[in-house]
Structure 1
Amino acid sequence: MATSAQGSDEETSFLDDSPKVEWRPSTTFVHWKGFWLMPDLIKSIMIIENQFKPLPSDILLASYPKTGTTWLKALSISILSHNSKAWISPDGDAQADLLQAHNPNELIPFLEMETFGENWSQNINKVPSPRVFSTHLPYSILPEHVKNSGCRVVYISRNPADTFVSSWHFYFKKFGASISFEEAFDEFCRGVVPGGPFFDHVLEYWKERKNKNVFFVTYEELKENPKESVRSLAEFLGCS
């Protein structure tokens, strides 16, 4: 079971000397292992390293924010739930079409937010196999025992211009128009955004695309050729 970050402030005291920026009101980023992350997220990563025991049958859906995360979750749920061995959702729901009653984000929790960390809400011990999790973590920051477990990793990427525009609208609604569109674009290009730099995030997974346990797909491929893309994804997930 995931647990709260007890003593995590002491465990992350080494971050005191790391570069920091005030990104939005009450939002601080720390430059850690080459990426800009919130301190609470770094605490969650450390908990994952200490507590998460991945299984070879696990599936990890990875993405940079606003690149098609929800769409990838919906496709994966459809593929797994229509397979001959029905996939059961984390809450034990095995109905014919899970997406008619649930948002994809309710069915596939984020590893670093909903299953580990200070405000975890999902007990991974109750998730039936194959367990499916989502993450926005860069490949280099994934714990080594996750990479070496044999679990399958699916990564979705998207055109950087569309990613930026989608991010702009999302963060505008969440934080308000604290900076101009031009300033936000400059931040994106410099990589000072949640989980940034975007290009480094994508490149790390791109370099792993020949790994038999890593499947790399783009948002544009799914739009242009959904039939072949979904067929390839299903084969990677071990489904008909």
Structure 2
Amino acid sequence: MTTSCPKYLEEDNLSEEGKKLLSILPKEKGWLGSYAYNYQGFWVPQKFLQAVIAFQQQFQAQDSDIILVTTPKSGTTWLKSLLFSLVNRVKHPIFEPNHPLLIDNPHVLVPFLEHTLYFDGRTVDISTFTSPRLLATHGPFASLPKSVQVSKTKLVYLCRNPRDTFISMWHFTNNLLLDQKDTDSIEEMFNLFCKGVSLYGPFWNHVLDYWKQSIEKPNKIFFLMYEEIKKKPKIQLKRLAEFLECPFSIEEENSGVVDDILKMCSFENLSNLEVNRNGKFSTGEAYKVFFRKGEIGDWKNYFTIEMSDKLNHIIEEKFQGSRLKLLTTHVPFASLPKSVQYSKTKLIYLCMNPRNTFISMWHFKNNLLLHHKYKNSIEELFDLFCTRETLYGPFYNQMLDYWKENIKNPNKILFLMYEEIKKKPKNQLQRMFEFLECSFSIEEENSRVVDEILKMCSF
């Protein structure tokens, strides 16, 4: 592994204060051919440490700010182009001859706070930037200035499959070290990545912190998956527009503005622009190093079985319990764990006419007893049902408890009637999706997604 690095990352350029801080921080040899230092729980290349501190100390967020957040090599360049085009589509109509994206790099149009604006720990006044200010950072949530965390600044977080993130980062850092005698082997860097030593990592901490914040503050933090944008770019771009409160009008959709933005910001278009093929940053890096493949699953061309197994185990361990879960229970409300009752967990309660519930239960139990000599007669089970001896019953108590809780807290509990779903399935499905805060878009309704769901789920 090389320990030399690009000149602009050399420690000689650090201030005395920076050197003093570096002397007491844990460090690892690693990415970019330089040491990485553990600052406030995350790993920073030596040169960017001053910039991170300057960003934390100097930056004052404005309520209208939009900040893109990523771990390095998670699709940042692509999302910067989408974000810039989306927010500025009135000022700069798509594909106009002098559109900024056609003559400049996305990283110039949406600058990094720590890598560009506060680079070298410089003092910079960005209060005069045109509103909304479009900015970017790789910093973990906890490291953001308080003004970002407590203001109405909107954060757009982009996450990518860690396997593809790693491969992209490995290629990227080695491209920056092309003039060095040594480059970093995939095995060395993989071991560091698995240890949590990655740029602004550990990767899992970075992702999980923003994911949790997005759950708690959905109006402030928008959590996107790179793979979802690749698979359904139009839907995800429209979601982003709605989050940023600049939704596409029906006229824009009909005139193809959404498609034009996606076309202009495509990997094929951006990577072939003259500016991105031959342009350079002031620090000397070529713009073209930010364009490699932009594909999903490229990691399969590099990982050994052992590497795949190792990272799978780590991912399962680190992300355990973090994903959205769809679970079911038959228990009464009062018997639910306190964490369910008092958290933001959403409950959907389905009630059915007790007469049909009883008949269905009687048939179900007898079907389970097909191989037994004894079966329950309808009279026996009916008496038990009427005397409240039913599974998770009494039936009436359970139903009434959930109904009362639904009245008290309609944002937490949705009370559905089986008969209403049968009579008006489309209306009830839309009610459920609105309750779950994932309403159908106009496009989805027009393309009959609701009907297709009902058809696929029909008896």
TM-score (norm 1): 0.85
The aligned counterpart of 2:198 is 193
**Residues 89-121 of structure 1, C-alpha deviation per residue, up to 9 Å, x if partnerless?**
xxxxx9873222222111011011211132769
The match for 2:213 among 202, 208, 216 is 208
The aligned counterpart of 1:81 is 88
Q: Are residues 1:23 and 2:56 paired?
A: no
The match for 2:17 among 10, 18, 27 is 10
The aligned counterpart of 2:177 is 175
Larger relative contact order, structure 1 or 2 (CA cutoff 8 Å, min sep 6): 1
Alpha-carbon spacing, 1:227–1:191, altered in 2? closer, same or farther (3 Å): same
Taking the TM superposition and a 5 Å limit, the aligned residue runs for 1:27-176 are 27-83=34-90, 86=91, 97-118=99-120, 124-176=126-178
Number of corresponding residues: 227
Larger deviation: 23-32 or 189-198?
A: 23-32
CA distance in 2, matches of 1:142, 1:200: 14
The aligned counterpart of 1:4 is none
Partner SS for 1:207: helix
Partner SS for 1:203: helix
The aligned counterpart of 1:90 is none
**Residues 116-147 of structure 1, C-alpha deviation per residue, up to 9 Å, x if partnerless?**
13276975234200001011111111111211
Alpha-carbon spacing, 1:54–1:184, altered in 2? closer, same or farther (3 Å): same
CA distance in 1, matches of 2:228, 2:31: 34
CA distance in 1, matches of 2:165, 2:33: 24
Task: Tell me the CA shift for residue 222 of structure 1.
Answer: 0.2
**Cα contact 1:113–1:119 (8 A) shared by 2:** no
CA distance in 2, matches of 1:230, 1:122: 32
Larger deviation: 113-122 or 123-132?
A: 113-122
CA distance in 2, matches of 1:147, 1:38: 24
CA RMSD of aligned residues (A): 2.5
CA distance in 1, matches of 2:119, 2:131: 22
CA distance in 2, matches of 1:17, 1:136: 23
Partner SS for 1:18: coil
Task: Tell me the CA shift for residue 186 of structure 1.
Answer: 1.2
TM-score (norm 2): 0.46
Q: Which has the larger radius of gyration?
A: 2
**Cα contact 1:114–1:122 (8 A) shared by 2:** no
Task: Tell me the CA shift for residue 187 of structure 1.
Answer: 1.3
Q: Which structure is higher in strand share? A: 1
Task: Tell me the CA shift for residue 64 of structure 1.
Answer: 0.4
**Cα contact 2:56–2:143 (8 A) shared by 1:** no
